[in-house]
Amino acid sequence: MLHLRHFVARSTLRAVCLASASLLVVGAAAFAVRAEAAPVAAVQSAFASDRLSVEVVGSGPDVILIPGLASSREVWRAAAERLKATHRVHLVQLAGFAGEPWTHGDGPFVEPVVGELARYIGEAGLERPAVIGHSMGGLTALLLAQAEPGLVGRVMSVDSLPFFSAMFGPQVTAENAQPFAAQAAAGILSADEASFRAQQAQTAVGMARDPATREAMVEWSMDTDRQAMAAAIRDVMTTDARPGLAAMTTPVW
């Protein structure tokens, strides 16, 4: 995988893993590197949206970091600390996840986020930023570049797929994945708190090595609105971005 610093520097020149109704929470261990840059104050963007909020750190060429399902923007904190000495980093927090308010019932989730990210890039005056997303965030970044190719400089999709449900077999389509997506969403909504927490703790063991990171992951999912989570996983399982890949001109890693 191309190193994050090299990836975002080059931008100035020009899904989740869910095999059943069990929930994926995003592990931060892959990005847990020691911060080397001097402290730079974080600024909450004035961008007003009920779909996402943005924290901005550093200065320089722009890079947007999108977390995955049920995750906090903190999953990207270590990477942002490394990048902020040379880049202006926009840490996205998606509504409904990790304690962020959610007011949209059972969805839709992904498409409105794509629209709000495009609006943020325009209103903030960003010039073709690099967009990096993990898991569901990677799918979101890909869809953003397909929908608004003039706004995005390049994309890095981390541990993500253009069609998650293709993992169930080559015969699966967005249409015939709908029953499985509905089942996954129903499982999220119906789980009692104790079994849900136990499930998240078990999942976290396979996502991160550090016990403190695992604990944080579990708390993010416990603080996530269940309706938001269900809406998001249903969208991920029934969104197929593959037809748009061939026509893309935005570089993608």
Predicted pLDDT of residue 8: 53
d(CA 250, CA 253): 10
Predicted pLDDT of residue 146: 98
Q: Helix (H, G, I), strand (E, B), or coil: what is residue 55?
A: strand
In the chain, the number of structural domains is 1
Return the minimum-mean-pLDDT range out of 1-15, 56-70, 110-124, 208-222. 1-15
> Each residue of 43-95: pLDDT tens digit?
888 899 999 999 999 999 999 999 999 999 999 999 999 999 999 999 999 99
Q: What is the DSSP string of 121-140?
A: HHHHT--S-EEEEETHHHHH
Mean pLDDT for the chain overall? 88
Identify which has the larger pLDDT, 29 or 112: 112
Range of the domain at 43: 4-244
Closest residue by Cα to residue 90 from 53, 139, 144: 53
pTM over 0.85: yes
CATH, residue 8:
3.40.50.1820
d(CA 2, CA 13): 16
- Could you tell me if residue 251 is inside a domain? no
> Each residue of 97-118: pLDDT tens digit?
999 999 999 989 999 999 999 9
Predicted pLDDT of residue 42: 86
- Could you tell me if residue 94 is inside a domain? yes
Contact 136/232 with Cβ under 8 angstroms?
yes
- Could you tell me if residue 250 is inside a domain? no
Mean pLDDT of 152-170: 96
- Could you tell me if residue 252 is inside a domain? no
